[in-house]
Amino acid sequence: QVQLVQSGAEVKKTGSSVKVSCKTSEDAFATYASIAWVRQAPGQGLEWMGAIMPIFGSPTYAQKFQGRVTLSADDSTATVYLELTSLRPDDTAVYYCSRQSVTKGPYFHYWGQGTLVTVSS
């Protein structure tokens, strides 16, 4: 059973940064699996932010977040990280990590429990 366990809720000030972790099962670091990040603002829909293939450490980012988001992976702990900088109140959202699979295009097979990030001024 694939499990993704995320870090706890965060409260941040406008202009600061946040780093959210997602501990995965170790095979994600031994295969060509990718871990994606998807966020959901309160009462809103889902928004893809980017993905990383831990075995290569090569991330891809949504154009909207280029320059503000960094995805990284630590194979010693089988943990993937999302760092978002220059936080604004509209970054308030639940951030999900997801184990990605592929058919003709990626999809999100397994999900973490979500991490609420609240940004206040």
CA distance 23 to 98: 11
Instruction: Find the angle CA(106)-CA(99)-CA(51) to the nearest 5 degrees.
Output: 65
Site for other proteins in 44-63 (CB under 8 A): 45-48, 50, 60-63
C-alpha neighbours within 13 Å on the C-beta side of residue 74: 9
Strand partners, 96: 38
| Residue 34 CB, nearest approach to other proteins (Å) | 11
Site for other proteins in 1-40 (CB under 8 A): 36, 38
Question: Would you say 40 or 72 has its CB closer to other proteins?
Answer: 40
| Residue 36 CB, nearest approach to other proteins (Å) | 7
Q: Please check whether residue 18 is in contact with residue 49, taking contact to mean a CB–CB distance below 8 angstroms.
A: no
CA distance 27 to 1: 11
Q: What track of x and - describes contact with other proteins for positions 66 through 105 (by CB under 8 A)?
A: ------------------------------x----x-xxx
Question: Would you say 3 or 16 has its CB closer to other proteins?
Answer: 3
Longest dimension (CA), the chain: 42
Q: Which residues bind other proteins (CB under 8 A)?
A: 36, 38, 45-48, 50, 60-63, 96, 101, 103-114
